[in-house]
Amino acid sequence: MSDENKAKNFLGIMFECCNVYGRIYKNKEGTFYQGRCPRCMREIKIRVGEGGTSQRFFKAY
């Protein structure tokens, strides 16, 4: 995997629960992006699949 592709393996998330930005990363299998709010540790998991979106930044409520 090139460095350019490796750098894209995250999603930017605005965690509305604590009004803070964070990144979540793909799991080893490449099937989900998962992570936690940096403040309250609320978990988030986003499935990777066909017909998805090319967006890299989201809000989590």
- For the chain, the helix, strand and coil percentages under 3-state DSSP, each to the nearest 5: 10, 45, 50
pLDDT confidence of residue 40: 97
Q: What is the pLDDT along the chain (61 residues), one digit of tens a residue?
A: 455 555 568 999 999 999 999 999 999 999 999 999 999 999 999 999 898 888 899 999 9
pLDDT confidence of residue 59: 96
Distance separating alpha carbons of residues 43 and 49, to the nearest angstrom: 20
Which residue range forms the structural domain that includes residue 19?
3-60
Q: How many domains are there within the chain?
A: 1
